[in-house]
Amino acid sequence: MAELTEELSLVKGEEPAVPAKAGTNGKADKAGKDGKADPEPATNGGKAPLDVPTGTPTVIVDDLHIVYRVYGAATDAEKGNAVNALTRMLKRQGRPQMKEVHAVKGVSFVAYHGDAIGIVGRNGSGKSTLLRAIAGLLPPHAGAVYTDGQPSLLGVNAALMRDLTGERNIVLGCYAMGMTPAEVREKFQEIVDFSGIDEFVQLPMSTYSSGMGARLRFAISSAKTHDVLLIDEALATGDREFRKKSEKRIRQIREEAGTVFLVAHDLRVIEETCNRVIWLHKGKIKMDGDPKEVLAAYNKG
């Protein structure tokens, strides 16, 4: 805690040595310093999505499969306690009722600098699993994910320390993204103003409402220009004014040559913010292309 207090004081004082940048979970091949890569054609009936950037790929998902193994027990004799585990060992029995859940099935696409890609689908279609795989948090069962730069995943459960104040969480969050103390000092007040938490910044996170916590998470994550920013329902708990500010910030990230993936059940936000939409159905891409066309088909389906 003493070290954290010292780091917090440095945000308003002199700049110390710059910490090392965080690593990446993969690299996508670039076309060259001034080269351009051709956009991959969409699967939307042979029509290419509108407003598709033609720059360097930032994310390549190649025949990705994600499989979960779930162990359960339906009867008292199979429940996972020490006695039954010992009994199975003596009888040389395996674990009871192992079930594989194939969450993502053969997904392939390419995202480019400046893309804002909305991902839609029913609950359980694999949207959050796909984002976690792109972020490097889930290992592929088959296939691969390549990224240019370090993806940053922002979700409704993004890690903030509830016992610490908003001020200290801002400092820790910015350092975790690889920002220097000078950059933290520069962005600190902007983060507070954007989140709208005002004087609550001096209070512990445990006193915040869900909406305040969501606003602070997004403000911290979007304070830095990311190569790839993954947003998983993080805007769902914000009010109308905050959603407008968030949409404006996402457009700004796109203009600064970043790539944004957005999972949201509010289709209006996706239509107004994204230039491309991927529709996932039971772990597979059902449609990929222009937001209006994909969302119209999704609403009919």
Q: Is the pLDDT of residue 144 over 70?
A: yes
Can you list the domains of the chain with their CATH numbers? Answer: 2-52+151-300 (3.40.50.300)
Do residues 127 and 265 make contact, with C-beta atoms less than 8 angstroms apart?
no
Per-residue confidence (pLDDT) for residue 231, from 0 to 100? 86
Do residues 289 and 277 make contact, with C-beta atoms less than 8 angstroms apart?
yes
Do residues 145 and 61 make contact, with C-beta atoms less than 8 angstroms apart?
yes
244-253 residue pLDDT tens:
788 788 778 7
The better pLDDT of the pair 237, 139 is held by: 139
Per-residue confidence (pLDDT) for residue 236, from 0 to 100? 58
Euclidean distance between CA atoms 169 and 195, whole angstroms: 13
Could you tell me whether strands 98-112 and 57-71 are parallel, antiparallel, or unpaired per DSSP bridges?
Answer: antiparallel
167-191 residue pLDDT tens:
999 999 888 888 899 999 999 999 9
115-143 residue pLDDT tens:
999 999 999 899 999 999 999 999 999 99
* Cα R_g (the chain), whole angstroms: 22
Give this prediction's pTM.
0.67
